[in-house]
Amino acid sequence: MKYYNSSKPITLNMSRDLTKHIKRGNPWVFSDVLQKPTKAESGMVGNLMNPKGELLGQGFYCPKINLAFRILTLGKKKISDELIEKRLDLAIDRRLHILTENNNTTRLINGEGDDLPGLVCDIYGDVAVIKLDGDSSENFWYAKGIAEFILQSQKLKIKTVYQKRRNSADNKGEILAGENIDLTKVQFIEHGVIFESNIIDAAKTGFFIDQRENRNFIGKISKGKSLLNMFGYTGGFSVYAGLGGATQVTTVDIAPEAIKASQKIWSLNKLDPAKHEALTTDCFKFVEEARKEKRLWDIVITDPPSFAPNQKAIETAKEAYIKIFADSIRLTRHEGIFVASSCSGHISTELFVELCSEAVARAKCRGKVLAINGQPEDHPFPMALPELRYLKFVMVQVFKDDV
């Protein structure tokens, strides 16, 4: 079966020797160390050469972005359909224990973490969603062949494979293999919790699977407590809290469709609608109003969109994180729990914890770190590429001296 678009390999010469860096497992080469080849197109197979003229490996070329080359093989090993099929099968084997009667959603393929750079696939029940990272990945990978492999795998129970593109694209996606079904109401189960997603219009591949274990954790500590879920999207943390026995849950997000979905998911899980306050409003304005009204919650979760989409934005992002986190802490009861989360790979875990510490101080409180979590096991990353350890989830118990 065909899994990639084969081409005669171009030669890519490095102007700086990164041999040790690459052999340690970092599969990324940036444009500032590559000599630009002639007549090379996006997604073409390339042989990577160090300054000594030694072949370091094969990958594909990405001329339009700073990440100019993504490595698939090292040394003299060549890219082949047989090699890719073996890696696809290995990725499936790694996830089989996650797929149970109680949980039928997982990240099946996680790009560089499964030695398949630029390729992501998530499973939602019997629907698999493929997403390719950029035009070079679109040109290199043969998505239809990958879709057929996933559909035909006897280890999985997939009926439909959909390729999702950016929501801003003219063509948001297409069904590549299997049954032609309604993808606007895809239901799946996560730790026994029922979810529904509009795969076509939703963020990422349809849901934030990377927060699965963190949501489950929140459910376990919510009994008898009130919870505020800010930037709550479709209410994942909220419904876990409700099922965990929370007395009252507030979900806040600026997107009307997200809030509408949060209410439906609450209903699908047969929870009391009187215990869920779903608000379509700007979270930054909400915290100001809530402070004026002196509202407090036992658990406050703040998971804003990334304030640092690139390296240059980090300094500005630091202040933005501190401010929204400090405001959130002010809405947390004495001895309550504040949770800060972010999906920015440009903010390290160490820096993120520092920002949380500064936010606690700015709110004139004391804090005790209860947990520092990240992405689950189905989101692996190369040890030599810590940037892909992107998810931060910091849980802090808040102490207010004047209470």
Clarify whether residues 308 and 371 are in a common domain.
Answer: yes
The Cβ-side half-sphere exposure at 41, using a 13 Å CA radius, reads 7
Angle at 345 between CA 391 and CA 218, to 5 degrees: 15
* Contact by Cβ (8 Å): 94, 100: no
State the CB neighbour count (10 A cutoff) for residue 264.
15
For residue 289, give both structure tokens: 């109003």
Give the DSSP letter of residue 13.
Answer: E
Q: Are residues 187 and 308 in the same domain?
A: no
Instruction: Please indicate, yes or no, if residue 200 is contained in any of the structural domains.
Output: no
In this structure, the answer to whether residues 270 and 152 fall within a common structural domain is: no
What is the domain-level CATH number for residue 387?
3.40.50.150
| Same domain membership, residue 145 and residue 23 | no
Inside any domain, residue 197: no
Q: Which are the contacts of 257, defined by CB distance < 8 A and separation ≥ 6?
A: 198, 201
Helices and strands, counts by H and E, the chain: 10, 19
d(C-alpha 337, C-alpha 394), whole Å: 10
10-residue stretch averages of pLDDT, the chain, 403 residues long: 95 95 96 91 96 97 96 97 98 98 98 98 98 97 98 98 86 95 97 97 93 97 98 97 98 96 98 98 96 97 84 84 96 98 89 96 96 97 93 97 62
Which burial class, exposed, middle or buried, applies to 396 when counting CB atoms under 10 A from its CB (0-12, 13-18, 19+)?
buried
Q: How many domains, the chain?
A: 3
The pLDDT, as a whole number, for residue 403 is 46
What pLDDT does residue 374 have? 94
Rounded to 10 degrees, the C-alpha dihedral 134/139/141/147 comes to 90
Whether the CB-CB separation of 111 and 98 falls below 8 Å is answered with no
Q: How far apart are CA 88 and CA 137, in angstroms?
A: 16
Helix (H) or strand (E) holding 47: strand 45-49
Do both 266 and 125 map to the same domain?
no
Residue that the structure tokens 């640092």 belong to: 308
338 with 244, same domain: the answer is: yes
89 φ/ψ angles, rounded to the nearest 5 degrees = -65, -40
Sign of the Cα torsion 67, 68, 70, 73 reads negative
Domain end (from 166, 191, 216): 191
Per-residue model confidence (pLDDT) at position 166? 81
268 contacts: CB under 8 Å, gap ≥ 6: 187, 194, 195, 196
CATH code for the domain in which residue 17 is found: 2.30.130.10
Q: Which domain holds residue 165?
A: 81-191
SS3 350: helix
Same structural domain for residues 182 and 323?
Answer: no
Say if residues 149 and 85 touch (Cβ distance below 8 Å): yes
Residue 30 Cα distances to 18, 24, 144, 193, 195, angstroms: 11, 16, 29, 42, 39
Calpha distance 122→380 (Å, rounded): 14
